[in-house]
Each structure stands twice: as C-alpha cells, then as structure tokens.
Structure 1
Amino acid sequence: LLVSGFFEGVDFDRLLEDRGRAPYGDAAVIYAPRPGGGSEGSEAIGIWDDSLVVVGPSEEAVRAAIDRIEGRAPLEPGALDVFDAYGEVYGRLGPTLLARIAAGFDPTLEARINEIVEAMELHVDAQRDIGMRLSVRGRRPEEMEQLARALGGALAAARLAAQESGDEDLARLLDYAEIDPAGAYFDLRLAVPFEFIEEKLGDCRWVRRRSATPVEEGHDAPADAAPADPEEGAGDR
C-alpha cells in the first residue's frame, strides 16, 4: 500500500513508537514490529523522503519496495496495473481490513468476508473532497451479491443507530457511504465533502497555536495567540 503526500511535519517516531526504527537506503526510515510482539499490527511501515509512506506485510517487503524506488533494484510487475496506480492512497489489500470494519457493525460479517473475498483494491483521492473507492472481489458472484446486500443493510442499521444515539457526526459520515454491487465484485464508496472535513477539523489550528505559544503566569498572551474559546474570533477563520 502506498500513500503519497507531504509528511515533513509528521512525528512518525511518536506515532509509531511501538515499532523499531531503522534508517534505510538514501532517504528512508523503516518502522517494523519489535521481536516478541508488543507492536500494534504486524505490518512494516516505510517513510521515504517525507513524501511517500510504504506499508507492507514484512520489513523485507518494504525494503524491496524502497530499493525499487531508489533504483537499486529493477522494477517488477506490481499488484496493480500502471493505469490503476492513481490517487493519494492506492494499493491492493486482503480481506482482513474490511472484515474488521464490518465486524463493528455486524459481527457475523467478519467470517463471511474472510471466506468469500479474494482481494480488494483501494483508491483515495484527497485533493479537496475525500473520495474513496474500495473494490471488493470474490470467487462466487452469487455470494458476493449477498455480501453486498448484507453490508448495505449493516451500513443502514449503523446510520440509524447513530441517529438514535445522537451521534450526528457518525450518522452524517455513514450517509456519505454506499455499496455499488456488480456481480462478482462490488464497490464500497465514500465521498466526504471538504466542508464536512473543515467543520470537524477547523478548531485543530487553535489547539496547535495555543500549545505553541504558552503563556507564563502574570504575562499577557501574545497578540496573535488563539483565543481560549474557539468560538471567539470565529470570523477570522
């Protein structure tokens, strides 16, 4: 799985502190699960030149990918055709991720997904709105159609439960998701408008500015410091 972007300000050492850290190649750092367990997840994660995140099933797989990126190894046919390598996030996945997510809505779906699904192809476009397409493929069209209907029902039930519990954010997010069945495969699509993202994350800059400009007792806050109440100064956003 590859994720492209600008990661210069991301503290990966803190985010991945449960993994071992090792520089690799010309411009990469690899975070791999520690021997004996203790790491959350079994995947290895490579950060290349603060612009590319490589996620693989093992440290060896991530090293091999970085070798190809830096020209030490020849390019090999990838899991995706070159025409399918688009978006800020793209890659081919096994069924485990979808099975874990679906289990949160309906525990009976986890085993069905692991049994029926062969592969999944993920694409995420995050230029402004967030658009995600997860293409899910299986062996038997009839069972895939049944699985698509079951997932659609689970999404609808989860949306209703979120509304009844007063979790409007989750209800709105689930409202942006849909299942598009097509025989032996189906697409799980999620289209989140930029306005929703801005609304939910808009206050983050206030928190960051407050933490970056501590005020000592007995001293006035800097003129450009964020107001204590995020609602103050809302007109400046």
Structure 2
Amino acid sequence: MVTDQKISELDYCYVSWELLQELEKNAFSRNECIRAFKKESNDRQSLITSVVALILPMTLLGSIVFSNRAASLMYGGTGTTENIWTRVVGLLMLSAFLFLIVYMLSKELSKYKVFWPIKKLINQDLEANLRLEVEAIDRKASKIINDSILKDSKIPDKFLSSEFLMVIIKYMESGQASFIKEAVYALQLDLNNTGYYAKRDASTIGKEVFIRS
C-alpha cells in the first residue's frame, strides 16, 4: 500500500513538474513576444525618424543643384573646377550635419507625450499582433494554472518551481522520502540548515540543493 502511494505521489510530482515546465516556457514565450515587439517598434521609429531627418538636407541639396546659381556655387567666381571637390565635400558635410541635428531632435521630441499618438499610430499593426499573441499565450497559461494538479497542489507554493520539484522527485526516487510531505520537509530542513542558501533566489536554491543532494 505504501509503495502504491509512493508511486502515485511520485507520478503526481512528475505531472506537476511537466506543467510547471510548460508554464515557464509560456512565460518565456510571452517575454520574447514583448521583446520582439519593442525591437521592431524601435527599428520602425528609427527608420521613420531617419526619413524625416533626410528631408532638410535633401531639400537643401535639391535647392542648390537645381537653382540658377548652382554653377557659380560649384565653380566659384573664377569659373574653374579647381576647388569644386572642396565645395562638394563641404556641402555633403553640411548635409550630414543637418541630418544628425534633425535626427537627434526628432528622437528627443518623440519622448514627449504630445507625440505619443503619432507613435501609437505608427505601431498600430504591431500592437494588434502583439495583443493577439499575448492573449493566446495568456489563455494557455491560464489553462495550465487552473489545472487541478496545480490549483489544489499538495506542494507548498514556495516550492512550486520546476527546479524544486526535481529536488523533491530526487528525494522520493532515492528513498529519502516516501511521500510528498516528507520530501518537502526534507527540502525545508536542507534549506534551513544551510545558511549559504539564505540569500539566494528560489530557482538557484533548487538547482544547488539538487546538485548537492
């Protein structure tokens, strides 16, 4: 009878571990979606800002090239090509300087609330896609959390992580504990008696106890 209960509780731990693994993967996927959204959003805003910043220097270059005074500006008063490359380089440097000024100014202005509606409009399709992806991930997470194994878990909340579950499973498989309560008690004692773990986070503790056991 004890053996049957041990196997049953061990299976229970394995099922709990698998559910927690799925939940952790789900959380990782959610964070990845948000990270990808932020990156794509920033890339798009940078591209649009660059296009806006190009308007002024391109307008300047166009007005010079297509103006009646283009020849005199390029060749100077002498009408020779002696310093033409100096003037061309100077004009390009001026254009680059104007581009940088407008680009940096646009970046700074975009931080103000008055420009947020424009940013929202730019990212409208990205936000819609993100919302759909996150909602799907959250539905999956909710389904996992509401599973009876986790909802009414025999394992205390503070030990409900895949790392701690593996420690508990190891205690039971090695014969150090016959039941979940015994394994949890052994784990708690192990943590209490080891001051080194006092300031470590839960996932790290779980891994290190597992290795040390």
Q: Same fold by TM-score, threshold 0.5 exceeded? A: no
More helix by share: 2
Greater relative CO, 1 or 2 (CA 8 Å, sep 6+): 2
More strand by share: 1
Q: TM-score, normalised by structure 1?
A: 0.19
